[in-house]
């Protein structure tokens, strides 16, 4: 912590970041274990967040309130990438006929900062702000493919490679090989690897310097859209819209 930093603020933010998919509520013990704080310190942070309106407390568990959304929308509403990407994702959605997302790399996660839906009874479980493991998702592999191979290996060395379907790659060398293939192909692809019945394709959004700033993707129902259609019709359209976005960055 820099000498002018605020340790209390850092601890409060650590508590906030501990919430996420699969962790919609926390006890004091949960918060302490997840952040490495003493229970008394974690409790003070939680109670402060309750006082500020960011958390609600039912006597046992703490849960985020709608006010927590402000912390994310401050970025989404002002950062150049989400603002610029929204119309391109919308245009891609309309042309492809499938929901389209834009994600950035955040640690070992692909964080979805833009999401444009189509109206269907069944859609993939991705929403604005969703995090997916970068090593297992099409968008994450696109983002990791822009990094040097050794940096990717170091980044994933301590990652928990846990399977969510029988098709999930969980061996580090297999994952690294798939990322290398993504680097060579220029796009990422998963076939029921994170969620059964869902096929995903993703392409890089490269700026004028050739850096991958984001990944644009779409997910389809494997029973409705064939692998051939995914590659021959959807992939070129995604590339076209991602390239248009990249020219603005």
In three state form, how does the secondary structure of 139-170 look?
Answer: HHHHHHCCCCHHHHHHHHCCCCCCCCCCCCCC
Q: Given its phi and psi angles, is residue 26 left (phi above 0), alpha (psi -120 to 50 degrees) or beta?
A: beta
pLDDT in tens, the chain (249 residues): 444 557 778 888 888 888 876 688 999 999 999 889 999 999 999 999 999 989 999 998 999 888 887 776 666 666 688 888 999 999 999 999 999 999 999 989 999 999 998 876 445 567 777 889 999 999 999 999 999 999 999 999 888 899 999 999 999 999 999 999 999 999 999 999 999 999 999 999 998 889 999 999 999 998 889 999 999 999 999 999 999 999 988
Instruction: State both tokens at 183.
Output: 């680097």
Q: Residue by residue, what is the 3-state secondary structure of 106-139? A: ECCEEEEEEEECCCCCCCCCCCCCCEEECCCCHH
Q: What is the pLDDT of residue 27?
A: 93
Calpha distance 169→160 (Å, rounded): 12
Residue 72 sits at the vertex; the CA angle it makes with 156 and 240, to the nearest 5 degrees, is 70
User: CB 110: neighbour CB atoms within 10 A?
Assistant: 32
β-strand partners of 201: 189, 218
Q: What is the pLDDT of residue 9?
A: 84
Q: What is the pLDDT of residue 1?
A: 43
Calpha distance 26→92 (Å, rounded): 38
Global pTM value: 0.72
Q: What is the pLDDT of residue 123?
A: 54
Q: What is the pLDDT of residue 17?
A: 84
Instruction: State both tokens at 168.
Output: 């999930």
Q: CB-based contacts of 196: which residues, under 8 Å, 6+ apart? A: 165
Domain ranges of the chain: 7-67, 79-246
Instruction: Yes or no: say if 219 and 202 are a contact pair by the CB < 8 Å rule.
Output: no
Q: What is the pLDDT of residue 73?
A: 67
Calpha distance 113→213 (Å, rounded): 12
Superfamily of domain 79-246: GAF domain (3.30.450.40)
Q: What is the pLDDT of residue 121?
A: 47
CATH code of the region 7-67? 1.10.10.10
Q: What is the pLDDT of residue 249?
A: 80
Q: What is the pLDDT of residue 239?
A: 96
Q: What is the pLDDT of residue 125?
A: 64
Q: CB-based contacts of 160: which residues, under 8 Å, 6+ apart? A: none
């Amino acid at each position: 912590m820099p000498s002018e930093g605020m340790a209390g603020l850092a601890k409060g933010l650590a508590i906030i970041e501990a919430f996420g998919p699969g962790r919609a509520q926390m006890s004091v013990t949960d918060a302490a274990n997840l952040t490495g704080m003493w229970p008394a310190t974690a409790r003070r942070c939680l109670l402060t967040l309750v006082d500020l309106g960011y958390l609600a407390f039912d006597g046992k568990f703490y849960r985020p309130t709608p006010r927590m959304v402000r912390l994310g929308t401050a970025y989404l509403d002002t950062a150049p990438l989400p603002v610029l990407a929204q119309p391109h994702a919308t245009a891609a959605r309309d042309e492809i006929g499938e929901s389209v997302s834009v994600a950035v790399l955040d640690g070992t996660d692909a964080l979805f900062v833009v999401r444009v839906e189509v109206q269907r009874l069944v859609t993939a479980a991705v929403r604005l702000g969703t995090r997916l493991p970068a090593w297992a998702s099409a968008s994450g592999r696109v983002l990791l493919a822009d990094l040097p191979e050794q940096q990717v290996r170091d980044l994933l060395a301590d990652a928990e490679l846990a399977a969510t379907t029988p098709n999930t790659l969980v061996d580090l060398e297999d994952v690294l090989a798939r990322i290398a293939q993504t680097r060579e192909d220029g796009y990422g692809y998963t076939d029921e690897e994170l969620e059964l019945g869902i096929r995903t394709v993703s392409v890089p959004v490269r700026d004028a310097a050739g850096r991958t700033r984001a990944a644009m993707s779409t997910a389809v129902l494997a029973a409705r859209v064939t692998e051939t259609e995914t590659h021959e019709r959807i992939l070129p359209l995604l590339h076209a819209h991602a390239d248009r976005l990249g020219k603005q960055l």
